[in-house]
Copies of this chain bind each other. A is one copy, B any other.
Amino acid sequence: MEGRVAQWVAESVPRLTFDQVLDRLNHLTRPYHKNYLAMYSSWLGGIVTDPALMMIPMDDHLVHRGDGIFEAFKCVDSRVYGLSRHLDRLERSAKALSLDVPVNRSRLEQIILETIRVAGVRDCLIRLFVSRGPGGFSTNPYECPASQLYVMVTVLHETHQDKYNLGVHVKTSFIPMKRDYFANIKSCNYLPNVLMTKEAQDEGVDFTISLDERGFLGEGATENVGCITDTLEFVVPRFDRILRGITVSRMLELAGVLVEMGILKGVRESDVSPEEVRRAKEMMMFGTTFDVLPVVSFDGHPIGDGRPGPFFRKLLGLLREDMRSGSEMVTPLDE
């Protein structure tokens, strides 16, 4: 009897053979797998489309230390938007962590575009990861012989229409802001951001926004924030303490035309206090997936008349026009 119990205990944590693992991978499908279109892995040396194979070595320091960087951008109507700026920022993040991007810029672009082509859709979201690479389980980056590149292409869900029509609700976050040193590195140490997203869900709002030690606005979990002041200026928080978002940066450039037209008095980066926001005509969030969203309440206070305003529509229109145009922001998929 004892023997049988001992056998049962041993069996209850099965040891898997190579073939058993393959069998498991072969039969592994999850509802969310349908969103995964293609993945390039420098570790595997090519592009896979079976979600069960979209794996990464456990010893890649990205996994156990968050020792890697990323970028997220999208392809709309077969045009990749902001590719060049995202890759510029990737290079800045890599430099800050003394991390080698394992391929040169033109090869990197080739891999990205080819992975999107294999994904086979006109609209998708692309996430690019550069990791310290496999090599061991310590914190020592020098134990990794070679950094790795992973490019993940997923379905782009266009489910923002309700939010464009009705606006979003935001609150102040209680999660401490990242230290200056790390704020401008788009690393995979994103736990503060994860907790901000969780906080928003738990609080029943769309986003929470961090405040710095002096009480000025920071950023959302993965979004930037800005407002149209009561003096008709387009103001966003200074980028010295937060990540310089590609969408909001482009928005600041495009808004110049509204200044020229006399619709806006100016565009500036500065300290933004919660009081200034509460007095604002409009408040908005900026991000890769949704472009611009109108904020209709902040910590329960209505912004403007509590409905999406005309500046939101103008700014969203400018960004969408920029995507359709032949501007330097656009890289067509089929060249």
Question: With A13-B111, A110-B12 as given contacts, are A191 and B53 in contact (CB-CB < 8 Å)?
Answer: no
- Which residues, 133 to 164 on A, are CB-close (under 8 Å) to B? 134-143, 145, 150, 152, 154
Interface of chain A, main secondary structure? mixed
Contact indicator per residue, chain A 102-130, by CB within 8 Å of chain B (1) or not (0): 00000000110011001000000101010
A54 contacts which of B57, B65, B138 (Cβ < 8 Å)? B57
Contacting pair B191 A140 (CB below 8 A): no
- Verify if A80 is at the interface (C-beta below 8 Å from B): no
What CA separation (Å) do A69 and B315 show in the bound complex? 41
- Which residues, 1 to 24 on A, are CB-close (under 8 Å) to B? 9-10, 12-16, 18, 20-22, 24
What CA separation (Å) do A15 and B56 show in the bound complex? 17
Chain B nearest CB from A61 CB (Å) reads: 7
Contacting pair B141 A66 (CB below 8 A): no
- Verify if A63 is at the interface (C-beta below 8 Å from B): yes
A137 contacts which of B15, B45, B127, B134 (Cβ < 8 Å)? B127
Contacting pair A9 B97 (CB below 8 A): no
List the B residue with the shortest CB-CB distance to A143: B32
Contacting pair A197 B35 (CB below 8 A): no
Contact indicator per residue, chain A 18-57, by CB within 8 Å of chain B (1) or not (0): 1011101010001010011001100011111110011111
Contacting pair A16 B45 (CB below 8 A): yes
Scoring A115, A194, A196 by chain B CB atoms within 10 A of each residue's CB, the highest score goes to: A194
Question: With A24-B45, A58-B55, A188-B64 as given contacts, are A15 and B194 in contact (CB-CB < 8 Å)?
Answer: no
**Would you list the 10 A-B pairs with minimal beta carbon distance, nearest first?**
A66-B66, A55-B55, A14-B46, A189-B189, A13-B114, A16-B46, A65-B190, A139-B197, A189-B191, A176-B179
A13 contacts which of B47, B64, B66, B138 (Cβ < 8 Å)? B47
Question: With A13-B111, A16-B48, A30-B134 as given contacts, are A139 and B190 in contact (CB-CB < 8 Å)?
Answer: yes
Which chain B positions have C-beta within 8 A of A46? 13-16, 20
- Verify if A78 is at the interface (C-beta below 8 Å from B): no
What CA separation (Å) do A139 and B175 show in the bound complex? 14
Can you spell out 19 A-B residue pairs with CB atoms less than 8 angstroms apart? Answer: A13-B47, A15-B46, A15-B47, A21-B53, A32-B59, A35-B136, A56-B56, A63-B188, A65-B66, A125-B137, A138-B197, A139-B190, A139-B197, A139-B221, A140-B201, A141-B198, A142-B201, A176-B181, A179-B179
What CA separation (Å) do A46 and B19 show in the bound complex? 13
What CA separation (Å) do A57 and B152 show in the bound complex? 12
